[in-house]
Structure 1
Amino acid sequence: MGRTMLVLAAVSVAALTGTSAAAGGGFEQGRFDRPAVAFADAELRGGLPTDVGLAPEPIAAAAERIARWTGSVPGREHPMYAGAVSLLAHDGVVVHRRAVGHALRYADGAGTELPPGQQVPMTPETRFDIASITKLFTSIAVLQQVEAGAVRLDDPVAAHLPAFAAGGKGDITVRHLLTHTSGLPATVRLWELPPERRIPAVLELAPERPPGDYTYSDPNMIVLGLLVERTSGTPLDRYVAERITGPLGMTATGYNPDPSLPIAATEFQSDPPRGMVRGEVHDENAWSLGGVAGHAGLFSTADDLAVLGQAILNGGEYGGRRVLSERGVRSMLDPGAAHGLGFELDQRWYMAGLSAPGTAGHTGYTGTSLVLDPASRSIAVLLTNRVHPSREWGSNNPARQELAQALARSLAVPPSKGSASWFADPARAATLTTDPLGPVAGPLRVSFDAFVDSQRDGDGTDPLVLEHSANGGPWRAAALRPDGPGAPGGEPTSLAGAGHRAWWRVHATVPARPGDQIRLRWRYAPDGRYVGRGVHVDRILAQDRDATRLDGEREHAALHPDGWTAVPR
């Protein structure tokens, strides 16, 4: 048993299930994750959510849902996956680690279940085909070669792989490949070619778009794997073992694993005729290249991927062994870039409430995902075999969101003032309405604090709106003047934003005539597509020229919640 496994083996049953003695007494507030600036300095160890200031209830609830989805799923014909291993870590402490379901459950692509004695249960030690999470290792290898001076990010790829110049690709750079802006096609079908033509076919691909246009492309990473081999003089599988997984102590991670090890099955494939794939890479292109490629091929465990994640959160070092400089890590996770260098950034569709401009990660087609949130020093790993027995059985995106959201919800947002704030859950609409205020002496000056973590424009909108009604008339939206980190400029009539993790102070002027009775309401209208941490409102104040008409800190009874909850400090 490796060092990492010895440490994690000490995690108690309560930590693995995400429960604690306090869990039965109602919702317990976690600690606010004020965004960290510096890199962490931690080695993973086991513990309870409460050991690092997390509320255990959201984690426990998510763990139960992830377990249930190995069976019946409402609205779906099939289970979401045969089995899963989930892991959550915060501030260097593994607060949740659990295996559910089966590593092997089915006999064929139709979903015929094996006899119980032939099914293989999932365990935390089960190795998964991590599919496109392999790209992160390739990207780290490329950055290592940059730091060694063997290649530069803005070098033409053809300067190192001359055959790549074919098809008008002479201007495509290493950076273009890392950020999927090369213009190369998204896919290629190498397994249909003779073995001797597979690598040349990748190098000779013609671009479909000019460099600079984003298209997520496996050929990008296949070429980068070849580049690492050329500049280092080392086969890619050996390079990853010697310079990444070996130094980090990731003993369960590698290409072409020993078939006698515990491995999760993937798909039953008829074309190509491979049968039930288990212990070989699922991706047909990587399989056709001998199981080793820059875009897919690695197998790993949740524990090992957590180590990789902590190494990134630590700025490229773990256990005294450095695999990348802090500068290299910053370049990979640059929140000002449209796309990270190999890493995906700020992807709410699977990072949920952990998403922020600096949040990084990747998913894998087989049903895997890794989320790293440097701001809260958190890690979420979900490994499933969702393509077992068939990729047609559907996506496991709900489980990816569920796990990341659980960790986000376990981190508190304390009131900006006083003992409680009003919270609107990101999953449903809510209104917070005042008693009639007045008669007023004229326009109302309204101010309040808002913590907004919702979808941005372009991803859908989950707006927070302040509305006003005079004398029982129609509701109208007020123009808002928010101020604070990440706040929108101008005078929007709704607030939406994500990842800033800070309170805004918001001001508005509500028109009114002397003698009017004014009601105010805060309306939150999420579309339910991709959730964040929701919305908090606090420190409400409404004044006219003569008097304070509402002080929300003192007049709680004047506020009427529908879907809002008072959250204590």
Structure 2
Amino acid sequence: MTATPASAEDFSKPFHGFAPPTTVLRDGSPASVGLDPAPIAAAVAQVRGHESAPPDGHPMYAGAVGLMGHDGKVVERDASGWALRYADATTELPRDQWVPMRDDTVFDLASVSKLFTSLAVTQLVEEGKVELESPVATYLPEFAANGKEAVTVRHLLTHTSGFTSWLPLWSKYPDKASRIKAVMDQPLTNPVGSTYLYSDLNLITLGVLVERLRGEPLDRVVAERITAPLGMSKTGYNPIDRTRTAATEYQSAPARGMVWGEVHDENAWSLGGVAGHAGVFSTADDLAVLSQALLNGGTYRGHRILSRDSVTALITNFNEAFPGDDHGLGFELNQRWYMDSLSGPRTAGHTGYTGTSIVIDFSSRSFAILLTNRVHPSRSWGSNNLARREWAGGLGQALRVRPAVGATAWSGGAANAATHTLTTPSVAVPASGARLGFDLFLDTEETDLLTLERSTDGGATWQPLPFTTRDRGGESASDGTVSGTRDRHWLQARADLPPGAQQLRWRYTTDATNLGRGVYVDGIRLTAGRAVLLDAEKSPTLLTADGWTLRSR
């Protein structure tokens, strides 16, 4: 293979640095930045489709606003459904009172708010006012209560503090002061640093830390140091005009009725709508600006909110001791369950309980934002994780995988719960044996498997064929089955074949949920010494493809 430089639309040539700091978002078509428009259009249709109720069921959400960005262009922006549709948990409003979703509808971000608190903390770290490895009690002495003296700022940002997930602050304590004190007094559930456990208490504590060190309320800190410099004029806490917001849940306990224009999270509500774990309201376009600022290395339109080193820290995995729970400073990393085919070690994001999600892929300089009001009118109506995957996955599938050899490569497809095979004709291998060579691109969920197999009985039975892969000078062995990701680039694969007539096939099997960019095979060639027994690059029609397709991207 001949190495080529990274290009914006090429999933198989990832970027390792930031976008130019002068990059400013503009609207553009997918084709204008080299994307395939079909997967994006499919994602739009899928997200819209979830607004219709299945038989004997509920819609996934009343409405949604989705936005995709790539290489400095907003390539898709779609608003559909309803910002307000229901009067209570079971009853629709009269049809003329439904409020349509708009591009600029303001959403309760729920736990996506944690990112703003994390950015505020990271600014303090950058300024030398906070040390990541210092105990939280250094800055909040009262936090040391009940055995928390060793909990550091990093532990809170990465959810490894040992805190329990949640406390009923709103119902158990009478006022804001007693609720904050309850968090400071709360003992650990697990030994510090021993366990990953996502916890609102971590970010509530960090919100208090920011306020203590800045001498200002958290909402003012976020406004002055993050949203105002970036021009995010529609982002903040406690929105003034509720009619521009998406309604959330009808709540009977507490007796709030239809929550519309107020924070949905009960604990954040009981803290006055401003808390470290929840409370931020925003639009898709404002979040796009934040995403691009981070892709630019912490700056947008000449206003820097973080240094490049600080942004690098945001997306550095501090949780290597907890595989599958990759976490930077506040940002989740590499989570296929909502990032789908955009997922990777340098993909950062977060979700919110109200139905929101943000995915920022630094390797392709892309982002996918999906905002829904999935708790309107009831949280019991279910999850919108499927829609999150479809939205991020649509953008991921639109990125090109450039063939390793020639103009096309074989793609194993992008379908869940499927088995696709690519099979050679029978080949007579001489007594000296033969060598199979092919190029392999692999970006899958760990449970989506590619297996190289051989058959000596005309395809009646198949056995795995061990092979090796070479990756930038390193070599690894496989028993015939591989999965996962290899940092988004092509590998060289080799296998030795014994004598005799035999067939080979590549079998790609996916489970019921979560996809990566998929599997590609290229440059298939079988040789015995100088003799070429099979050259599928020159003669691709020799292969029998069931679910595999020849693709130029």
TM-score range relative to shorter protein: over 0.9
1:165 to 136, 144, 155: 144
- SS of the equivalent of 2:477 reads coil
- In 2, the alpha carbon distance for the partners of 1:56 and 1:229 equals 45
Deviation at 1:230, TM superposition (A): 0.7
| Aligned-partner residue type, residue 60 of structure 2 | M
- In 2, the alpha carbon distance for the partners of 1:487 and 1:131 equals 44
Q: Match of 1:288?
A: 270
| CA deviation profile, 1:322-349 (whole Å, cap 9, x unmatched) | 0111111101101475321100000011
Q: Match of 1:8?
A: none
Residues 77 and 488 of structure 1, relative CA distance in 2, 3 Å threshold: farther
Which residues of 2 match residues 38-117 of structure 1 at below 5 A?
Answer: 38-41=17-20, 42-73=23-54, 77-110=57-90, 112-117=91-96
Which residues of 2 match residues 481-560 of structure 1 at below 5 A?
Answer: 481-484=468-471, 489-498=476-485, 500-512=487-499, 516-545=500-529, 547-560=531-544
Residues 546 and 314 of structure 1, relative CA distance in 2, 3 Å threshold: closer
1:235 to 205, 208, 217: 217
Q: Match of 1:183?
A: 162
- In 1, the alpha carbon distance for the partners of 2:17 and 2:444 equals 25
- In 1, the alpha carbon distance for the partners of 2:215 and 2:475 equals 50
Q: Does 1:210 align with 2:191?
A: yes
- SS of the equivalent of 2:196 reads coil
> Quick check: 1:73–1:80 contact (8 Å CA) kept in 2?
no
2:247 to 247, 250, 265: 265
Deviation at 1:533, TM superposition (A): 1.0
Deviation at 1:120, TM superposition (A): 0.4
Q: Match of 1:32?
A: 10
Q: Match of 1:430?
A: 420
Deviation at 1:486, TM superposition (A): 11
- In 1, the alpha carbon distance for the partners of 2:242 and 2:268 equals 21
| Aligned-partner residue type, residue 269 of structure 1 | Q
Deviation at 1:179, TM superposition (A): 0.4
Comparing 423-432 with 545-554, greater Cα deviation is found at: 545-554
> Quick check: 1:157–1:173 contact (8 Å CA) kept in 2?
yes
Q: Does 1:396 align with 2:384?
A: yes
| CA deviation profile, 1:258-314 (whole Å, cap 9, x unmatched) | 034400000001111111000110001100100000000000000000111111111
- In 2, the alpha carbon distance for the partners of 1:318 and 1:56 equals 27
Deviation at 1:61, TM superposition (A): 1.3
> Quick check: 2:158–2:319 contact (8 Å CA) kept in 1?
no
| Aligned-partner residue type, residue 45 of structure 2 | E
Residues 388 and 237 of structure 1, relative CA distance in 2, 3 Å threshold: same
Comparing 438-447 with 286-295, greater Cα deviation is found at: 438-447
> Quick check: 1:179–1:341 contact (8 Å CA) kept in 2?
yes
Q: Does 1:564 align with 2:548?
A: yes
Q: Match of 1:6?
A: none
Q: Does 1:455 align with 2:445?
A: yes
Structure 2 residue ranges without an equivalent (≥5): 1-7, 321-326
Comparing 555-564 with 537-546, greater Cα deviation is found at: 537-546
- In 1, the alpha carbon distance for the partners of 2:338 and 2:303 equals 30
Q: Does 1:341 align with 2:323?
A: no
- In 2, the alpha carbon distance for the partners of 1:69 and 1:211 equals 41
Q: Match of 1:441?
A: 431
| CA deviation profile, 1:203-257 (whole Å, cap 9, x unmatched) | 0011000111110000000000000011111110110010000100000000000
Deviation at 1:511, TM superposition (A): 2.4
Deviation at 1:509, TM superposition (A): 1.2
Q: Match of 2:3?
A: none
TM-score normalised to structure 1 length: 0.91
| Aligned-partner residue type, residue 504 of structure 1 | L
> Quick check: 1:441–1:544 contact (8 Å CA) kept in 2?
no
Deviation at 1:471, TM superposition (A): 3.8
Q: Match of 2:5?
A: none
Count of equivalent residues: 531
Which residues of 2 match residues 357-368 of structure 1 at below 5 A?
Answer: 357-368=345-356
- SS of the equivalent of 1:40 reads coil
- In 2, the alpha carbon distance for the partners of 1:140 and 1:551 equals 53
> Quick check: 1:466–1:477 contact (8 Å CA) kept in 2?
yes
Q: Match of 1:470?
A: 456
Structure 1 residue ranges without an equivalent (≥5): 1-29
Deviation at 1:418, TM superposition (A): 1.5
> Quick check: 1:441–1:545 contact (8 Å CA) kept in 2?
no
Deviation at 1:499, TM superposition (A): 6.1
Deviation at 1:546, TM superposition (A): 6.6
- SS of the equivalent of 1:438 reads strand
2:397 to 384, 409, 414: 409
Residues 190 and 114 of structure 1, relative CA distance in 2, 3 Å threshold: same
Q: Does 1:310 align with 2:292?
A: yes
- SS of the equivalent of 1:239 reads helix
- In 2, the alpha carbon distance for the partners of 1:442 and 1:471 equals 20
Percent sequence identity over matched residues? 54
- SS of the equivalent of 1:224 reads helix
